Amino acid sequence: MLPADLPHLAIVRVLTGGGPYAAGDAVAVAFSSPTVGRLALFENSGTPEAQSTSLLPDTISAEIELAAGPYLAGDLVTLSFVDPRIARLHPMPRALTPHAPCELEEPSPREELPPRDEAPPRAVAPASTLRVEPPVLTPPQRSAHAGPPGVRTRLSWEHDRAQRFVQVCDKLFTVDRLGWYRHALVMRLLIPDEIECGDASVDREAMESLRVLRRAGVETLGRPLLAAFMPSFSVTAGWLDTLDDPAAAGAVATLRAAIGDRVNDAPPLAESGDGSSTHGAIARSELAAAPTSTIEAFLPLLIAHVGTSDAVTGKMTAYRSALIELFGQTARSAETVRLTQMAQPNHTLDDRLWQLVGVVSECFGGLAVA
């Protein structure tokens, strides 16, 4: 009779690579618990290894070739890891049907996503990685905007970015103990690509601060997100410290100073085109009211919340407004509040993010939503 604690051994064939594993590689997975395994490269496909540049967990999809434990040959699994020798195992569906392109009107009531407490799990397409890498930023093009000058932002929703946004948000919804901090992490996914102020020299300074902020946001995102996925996770003072990155705080201060004289109350303008970008404007009243004590009170102002789709505009604007109001109110809270009250779920923020994820899935990501 075999010992009860003898590990199972499965062989998986990588479908979408990440970290050191490329599509076609065979990887041995040893596990005692079906949710955590030790990995070792079993057969190299000859494809060059992927390179990881972020602390955010890599995620690969694979097909079981040698069955073990609860996994049968042909089953599809997702393996997520930072250290490529140890991974979490997640079963996933075999096939997903992409949605049709989003219409430019508000979805009918039957298409509305239910509140999170009543919603079934969403099916998410397999992804090669959950890395949230900052794109190469270019100086904004002034000719694209009409209307009075002000401080305007733009975020481009390429297919890969939309998929990463949906997948990371789905992961965050599985950790109830994150509370408000689920949204502190999501904000870092919505830092815009461009910011412009109507003056070339100011634009250059603002763009440079934005580059630093995006880079710091991605680097800061990795450690707390990885910790949140651990079984024993709870919000602690040490975990909160990982959110407060000095580079990000410095970039926020520099950016505020650069745009302070340029803000006005002109509304954001959505541009014509293929609808793959959203745009925003920082109002003078918003900037004046935003506390300087935390990064989370400033980041929502940057969210580009207006698109060519009324559905996107409505959900993005509602989420942005709730972030500005609620994180602004708690920006100067004592640490005891941050460790207790803010570690509990905020149903207003959760529901608005849930609705936004569904719209992004349909309009930009081509993902199925159950």
Q: Closest Cα to residue 131, out of 158, 160, 89, 170?
A: 160
Other residues' Cβ atoms within 10 Å of the Cβ of residue 264: 13
Q: How far apart are CA 352 and CA 40, in angstroms?
A: 41
- pLDDT of res. 324: 95
pLDDT at 25 over 80: yes
Residues 283-294 have pLDDT tens digits of 999 999 998 888
Dist. CA 95–CA 82, nearest whole Å:
26
- Dig out the tokens for 282 from the structure: 């920082």
Backbone angles phi, psi at 233, to 5 degrees: -65, 140
Phi (first) and psi of residue 313, to 5 degrees: -60, -45
Q: Are strands 26-31 and 8-16 parallel, antiparallel or unpaired?
A: antiparallel
Q: How many CB atoms lie within 10 A of CB 229?
A: 15
Asked if residue 322 has pLDDT above 80, the reply is: yes
Render pLDDT for 206-257 as a digit per residue (tens, 0 to 9): 999 999 888 888 777 778 888 888 888 889 988 888 887 788 888 899 999 9
pLDDT in the model for residue 218: 78
Other CB atoms within 10 A of residue 156 CB: 14
Q: What is the value of pTM for the model shown?
A: 0.62
| Mean predicted lDDT score pLDDT of the chain | 78
Q: Residue type at 153? A: T
> Token pair of 4, please?
């009860």
Contacts of 143 (CB under 8 A, 6+ apart): none
Concatenated DSSP letters for 85-124?
Answer: TEEEEEEE-S---PPPPPPSSPPPGGGSPPPGGGPPPPP-
Distance CA 366, CA 227 (A): 29
Q: Whole-angstrom Cα distance, residue 209 to residue 217?
A: 12
Q: What is the pLDDT of residues 116-152, one digit of tens each?
A: 444 444 444 443 344 444 444 444 444 344 444 689 9
Q: Which residue has the higher pLDDT, 218 or 11?
A: 11
φ and ψ of 264, to 5 deg: -145, -170
